[in-house]
Copies of this chain bind each other. A is one copy, B any other.
Amino acid sequence: MEPAVLDAISSPRRREILRLVWREEQSAGAIHRAMPDVTFGAVSLQLRTLMDAGLVEVRTEQRSRYYRARREAFGPAAQMLESIWDDALWKLKLAAE
């Protein structure tokens, strides 16, 4: 099969999470607060999928767990994701939210 990274970035929800933790860590709770249309459990499961794929790492501090992307693990997908997130239309869409 192709690199696992392709499977991982195939999900819009996981891409949403990745965008949040791309350049700075975010706690699981903060990630959940950014996507209130799903339960905390659902977010946690997606984080686990990303962990299993080696695409994020986590740091525990007090009661919180802080996730961030392991950008070096994305290979050629990193550039694509950054391009898409930088894209003018994408920015426009975010602004409209």
Q: Which residues of A line the B interface, CB within 8 A?
A: 1-3, 6, 9-12, 15, 75-77, 79-80, 83-84, 87, 89-90, 93
Contact = CB atoms under 8 A, between A and B. Distances in A.
- Dominant SS among interface residues on chain A: helix
A80 B2 CA distance: 12
Contacts of A75: 83-84, 87
Contact of A80 (B10, B76, B87): B76
Contacts of A84: 2-3, 6, 75-76
A1 B1 CA distance: 27
26 contacts: A1-B12, A1-B93, A2-B12, A2-B15, A2-B84, A2-B90, A3-B84, A3-B87, A3-B89, A6-B9, A6-B12, A6-B15, A6-B84, A10-B10, A10-B11, A75-B83, A75-B84, A75-B87, A76-B79, A76-B80, A76-B83, A76-B84, A77-B80, A79-B79, A79-B80, A80-B80
